[in-house]
Structure 1
Amino acid sequence: MALSNFGIYLQRSTKLLRDNSVKILRMEGANMPNHAPMTLLSLQNREDISHFASGCDADIGGTSSVRLDADEDAERNAGSGSPLTMRFWGEMNLTVKPQLQGRIRGGYAGFRSKPRPTLFGELTDDVSNHKYLALRMRLGGSPRTRNSYFVNLQTDGPITTDLWQHRLYFQRNDGGWEDIFIPLENFVLTNTGEMVSEQIEMLRERVRTIGISLLGGNSGVSGPYDLGIASVRAVNEEDVTKPPCMFATTSSCTPVTHQSVVEKDVQNFHRSSV
């Protein structure tokens, strides 16, 4: 293990030990729960981009491309509220290498946060006191890709292939930054690329990773894609500034149908330990 990675490992371990000790000393279980917004994803410096993994169908023989950068471009970040954001971009292609035609399906790309191991177990996020996921994002690239993005959550549950997912719906089409609010209770549980028939409640006390996928193969969508991410937070009603997306027709969201939306290779990527 490289020295820098070992240093991060020790920092996480110290943080977990300190946080747990503080909870015991403060007897937090006897206090009112903390409903303040909780940041789950953001960049504090350029090096933080190393805490995320990215992949696309090119890893198994497709022809898409993916890049995940720490973006300091002032023009792209104008209105984001931060001088440093994440940029998830590339080319979405549905074709695969000739020798693999008929054997695999192309058309996906994604990124996710990496698991955070410590000396005392894995570091996870507790969002059990929050009701919404709030994402501040900028949509660019081809208009054809705008309805093919999904946000993915992996929890520390007994089945490692489980993945919670919700489609992202954007209201702006001018490349500007916007906030998207999704009720955590509306995430759909999937397993190995299929929606689980018997839905259960998400283990919000232990969220392991968070990520974004672009699934062009499901909708036959190809073209350049470009998504800016300023932050992802867990929030409550008092922090919601626009109508949240629901699994129903509303004035702000397109209807969502319960269907299989995760390809197996995407799910394998999101649950891997790298």
Structure 2
Amino acid sequence: MQMSSLSRYVNRTSQFLRDATAKVMLMYGADEPSRAPKTLFTFNTAEEVAQIVKGSDADIGGFSTVNFELEESPEINASIGRPATGKLWGEMRLGVKPALKGKIRAGYAGFRNQFRTTLFGEMCHDVSMHNYLALRVRVAGDPRTRHSYFVNIQTDTPVSTDLWQHRLYFHKADNSWEDLFIPFDSFILTNSGGLYDNRIEMFKKRIRSVGISVLGGNSCLEGHYELGVDSIRIVNEEDVIRPQPAGVQHQHQSPVSH
């Protein structure tokens, strides 16, 4: 284990102990848990960007590329008062290596946060007191790819390949920032492209990871994709900001994983 990774591991273990001690000292559970907005992840420093895992179909023989890096352009970040933000970008491709034609499906790329292991187990996020996932994002790149983004949530369940998914519906198309609010009860449980019984509820007490993917293979689209990501938060109805003018409301569509 490299020194930087070891340092993060030790820090997470210390945080785990501090949180556990605080819950005991404050008689955690005696008072109602907070419903205040909470930030899960920000992407404003090199250290924060280093905490993500990225991947694409190139991992199994495709040709899509994926990058996640800091965007430090003042023209892009000034409107939200950030010196830097995260940027997911690359080329979406549908082809695969000749020997793999007909055997794998290409056309996907994305990122998620790293799993946070400690000496005493894995740290997860408890979002059970919040009803919405809130993302501050900006969409750019080839317009053809802008309808292929999904947000993915993995919970602490025995089936590690289960993913809760929801399509991202953008209100802006001018490379400017916007806040998207997605109800947790609108996510659809998927596994390897299949949909589960929608009566299953998300295990919101232990969220392992949150990420975003672009699935060009779903709609047979290729091209340059780019998505700016500033933060991922959890909020409740009173914190939701509705776009003005409201325009046409999109209905939720069931996602299809790669």
TM-score (structure 2 length as normaliser): 0.94
Q: Is the 8 A contact 2:147 2:168 kept in 1?
A: yes
Q: Is the 8 A contact 1:40 1:232 kept in 2?
A: yes
Alignment of 1:35-54 (within 5 A): 35-54=35-54
Alignment of 1:1-274 (within 5 A): 1-242=1-242, 251-258=247-254, 261-263=256-258
The 3-state SS of whatever aligns with 2:233 is: strand
Task: Tell me how far 1:38 sits from its aligned partner.
Answer: 1.2
1:246 maps to what in 2?
Answer: none
The gaps in structure 2 that reach 5 residues or longer are none
Q: Which amino acid aligns with 2:48?
A: D
d(CA) in 2 for partners of 1:45 and 1:131?
A: 28
d(CA) in 1 for partners of 2:11 and 2:83?
A: 25
The 3-state SS of whatever aligns with 2:50 is: helix
The gaps in structure 1 that reach 5 residues or longer are 244-249, 264-274
1:143-197 deviation per Cα after TM superposition (whole angstroms, max 9, x unaligned): 1111100000001122222111100000101111001000011111112221113
Task: Tell me how far 1:31 sits from its aligned partner.
Answer: 0.6
Q: How many residues align?
A: 256
The 3-state SS of whatever aligns with 2:15 is: helix
d(CA) in 2 for partners of 1:177 and 1:74?
A: 13
d(CA) in 1 for partners of 2:44 and 2:217?
A: 33
Q: Which amino acid aligns with 2:222?
A: S
Q: Is the 8 A contact 1:57 1:107 kept in 2?
A: yes
TM-score (structure 1 length as normaliser): 0.89
Q: Which amino acid aligns with 1:83?
A: P
Cα RMSD after superposing both structures: 1.5
d(CA) in 2 for partners of 1:157 and 1:80?
A: 36
Q: Is the 8 A contact 2:167 2:253 kept in 1?
A: no
Task: Tell me how far 1:254 sits from its aligned partner.
Answer: 2.3
d(CA) in 2 for partners of 1:77 and 1:121?
A: 37
Q: Is the 8 A contact 1:68 1:88 kept in 2?
A: yes
Q: Is the 8 A contact 1:171 1:252 kept in 2?
A: no
Task: Tell me how far 1:95 sits from its aligned partner.
Answer: 1.5
Q: Is the 8 A contact 1:164 1:187 kept in 2?
A: yes
d(CA) in 1 for partners of 2:198 and 2:250?
A: 24
d(CA) in 1 for partners of 2:170 and 2:24?
A: 42
The 3-state SS of whatever aligns with 1:88 is: strand
d(CA) in 1 for partners of 2:162 and 2:12?
A: 25
The 3-state SS of whatever aligns with 2:99 is: helix
Q: Is the 8 A contact 1:189 1:199 kept in 2?
A: no
Task: Tell me how far 1:111 sits from its aligned partner.
Answer: 0.5
Identity of aligned residues (%): 51
d(CA) in 1 for partners of 2:176 and 2:198?
A: 38
The 3-state SS of whatever aligns with 1:30 is: coil
Task: Tell me how far 1:198 sits from its aligned partner.
Answer: 4.9
Q: Which amino acid aligns with 2:199?
A: Q
